[in-house]
Structure 1
Amino acid sequence: MNKTRLDSLPALALFALIVQYGSLSSAAQHSGLSRSAVSKQLSALEAKLGVRLLQRSTRSITLTEAGKQILAEARRILDALESVKTLSEDLQGEVCGHLKVSCSTGIGRVHVVPLLKQFRVCYPKVNVQLLLEDRRVDLIDEQIDVAIRVGHLPDSSLIALRLGEMTWVVCASPDYLRINGTPKTPTDLLQHDCLYYSNNQNSFKTWLFMGPNGEESISINGSLSLNDSTALAQAAEEGQGIVWIDKNSLGDALEKGRLVPVLEDYSLSPGYPIYALYPARRHLSQKTRMFVNFLSERFSPRMHYQ
């Protein structure tokens, strides 16, 4: 391979980054270059190849036909460079490097944060960045090594490892029940202030029960919603209402009597599965492999109510 071809490799990888992140500015941010340097390298690559790769405006970039064809090769180069980086870490003979993990806030606080202490003792040269956020992240675009997600997954190229399952309970504080009464049937919930989970995408206001009369779906009333299960549990302990929640988010509140289960004669809808997701790559880094194995071994035992 001659020098001219070698010189084109970083520029091709940079071109793939521009398309991946949607702008020259974002590509500059993720590559550690200035925007002008990114623009200069792109222009030099287009001049060398003799074709325009992108149509650029002040608001957007669009692939040309030539750009679409060359992008596939550029992405292969970017993947190869990522594999080389991963191999270089692994060849050092110990598990090391930067591990970026995404997780929902509630699951992260209750299950992942306590496990990180143990993981870091086992692998002290891995720097863990844990992002707690209640949204779906794009693992590839956001360079996430592992995402922990709740719910049934759409088909994708990601590898999914099932870690456990949420287990529901409907409960309230003794003080709330003393003042407001204890519901005997799901319909009684319509007379109560119910706390529920809500974020920008979903509001969990329909509670499903199975009882002697079959399935009952209740659209609850509530003046308080939160997007964090830990905060929901706290609000319930403070007597602010009745909550439908994952038992694993409650700590020892049920055992210590700070919260009391209600409607125990009814079965609740099945809990959501919890998965660890990671990209399907030809060479999975040691740090990612060890973290996923660690979760597989130690996540479920923390879920006391399975």
Structure 2
Amino acid sequence: MNRKRVDILQALVLFARIVQYGSLSGAANHSGLSRSAVSKQLYALEEKLGIRLLQRSTRNIKLTEAGKQVLREATQIQAAYERVEILSEDLQGQVGGHLKVSCSAGIGRAHLVPLVKQFRALYPKVHVQLLLEDRFVDLIDDQIDVAIRVGHLPDSSLIALRLGEMTWVVCASPDYLRKKGTPEIPADLLQHDCLHYRNSQNSYNNWLFMGPNGEERISLNCCLSINDSTALAQAAEDGQGIVWIDKSSLGDALETGRLVQVLQDYTLGSGYPIYAVYPARHHLPAKTRKFIEFLTEHFSPHIQS
């Protein structure tokens, strides 16, 4: 195969990525190229084919009618090209490249940061970009390889692998309990300073208890809400109130007595499941496959189901 034909095939792969990611910049980021290099290759491809593939403006791109027809073929070439890349990695025994992982800040700090250190010790050629943010991330648009998500997932084309389940505890610092007293029944919480987790999508201030009288749901007007579970645990340790929180966010605070569990005669509502989520593909890159396998084996024992 001559060089010009190879260049055209590579340009077609790049064209498919431009459409896939919705912009020249998105294709450039995924391909490790500059935006200007992507623009030049697209222009050269259009010149070679003698047709306009995309209508481009400062804000978006739009396929021409000819572009739609070429895209069908380019998508097949792109899929074959990516399968060969993955096959090459497997045959050479290589695990490397850029791995982009998204997770909420609290779970990321408690679990993923130490796990990434262990994973990179095994696979030093993998560069991990860990995004800790409490917002809904679109895996395709944001080019995420793996996301850690909490709660029941909506139906989608994504693959979800269950890693475990949160375990709830209600606790406070010894200093707070000495000053304000210890609640004996859930309704007592209405007379206490309470702390809860809240992000842009949800506010977790409805606490569910199961006891001798069945279910008791307490809706609290909490004095402090934080969108980071690590900071929420710290606020409880500082004596600011009683918190309902995932046990895995507390580190050794319960074992060392910095926090004390309350209302232990009651069973708390079931914890949210935790999933590793990734785009559906016929062949996962070795870096993604190995990271998912690593998570399945090593995710925190506090929340393994």
Normalised to the residue count of structure 1, the TM-score between the two structures is 0.86
CA distance in 1, matches of 2:303, 2:104: 19
Q: How many residues align?
A: 305
* 1:56-85 CA-partner distances (Å, limit 9, x unpaired): 333222334443444343333333333333
Cα deviation 1:84-129 (Å, max 9, x = unaligned): 3323333323433333322222222222222333333333333333
The alignment status of 1:303 with 2:286, answered yes or no, reads no
The alignment partner of 1:98 has SS state of strand
Cα distance in structure 2, aligned partners of 1:214 and 1:304: 26
- Unaligned runs of at least 5 residues, structure 2: none
1:10 maps to 2:46: no
1:99–1:205 distance in 2 versus 1, CA, 3 Å: same
Deviation at 1:298, TM superposition (A): 1.9
Aligned partners of 1:169 and 1:245 also within 8 Å = yes
Name the aligned partner's letter for residue 225 of structure 1: S
Partner AA of 2:101 in structure 1: V
Distance in 2 (CA, whole Å) between partners of 1:57 and 1:121 is 45
Instruction: Report the RMSD for the aligned CA atoms in angstroms.
Output: 2.7
**What residue number does 1:241 align with?**
241
Deviation string 1:124-147 (CA, Å, 9 cap, x unpaired) is: 333333222223333333333322
Residue 276 in 1 paired to residue 276 in 2? yes
Measure the CA separation in 1 of the matches of 2:286 and 2:35. 33
Amino acid at match of 1:186: P
Which aligned pairs between 1:161-240 and structure 2 lie closer than 5 A? 161-240=161-240
Per the alignment, in what secondary structure is the counterpart of residue 255 of structure 1?
A: helix
- Residues 42, 133 of structure 1: alpha-carbon distance in 2 compared, 3 angstrom cutoff: same
Contact 1:52 1:67 in 2 (8 A): yes
> Residues 207 and 71 of structure 1: is their aligned pair in 2 closer, same or farther, counting only changes over 3 Å?
farther
Match of 1:87 in 2: 87
% identity of equivalent residues: 76
Q: 1:288 to 1:26 in 2, by over 3 A?
A: closer
Distance 2:99 2:10 in 1: 24
The answer to whether the Cα contact below 8 Å between 2:171 and 2:242 also exists between their aligned partners in 1 is: yes
1:187 is paired with a residue whose SS is helix
CA deviation profile, 1:142-181 (whole Å, cap 9, x unmatched): 3333222211122223322211110101111111122122
Are residue 24 (structure 1) and residue 24 (structure 2) matched?
yes
What is the deviation of 1:270? 0.8
Change (3 A) 1:270 1:66: farther
Which runs of structure 2 are paired with 1:250-265 in the superposition (5 Å)?
A: 250-265=250-265
Give the secondary structure class of the aligned counterpart of 2:275.
Answer: strand
Q: Which amino acid aligns with 1:121?
A: A
For structure 1, the residue ranges without an aligned partner over 5 or more in a row are none
Distance 2:29 2:112 in 1: 29
Please report how far the alpha carbon of residue 250 of structure 1 lies from its aligned counterpart in structure 2 after TM superposition.
0.9
Instruction: Tell me the TM-score normalised to structure 2 length.
Output: 0.87
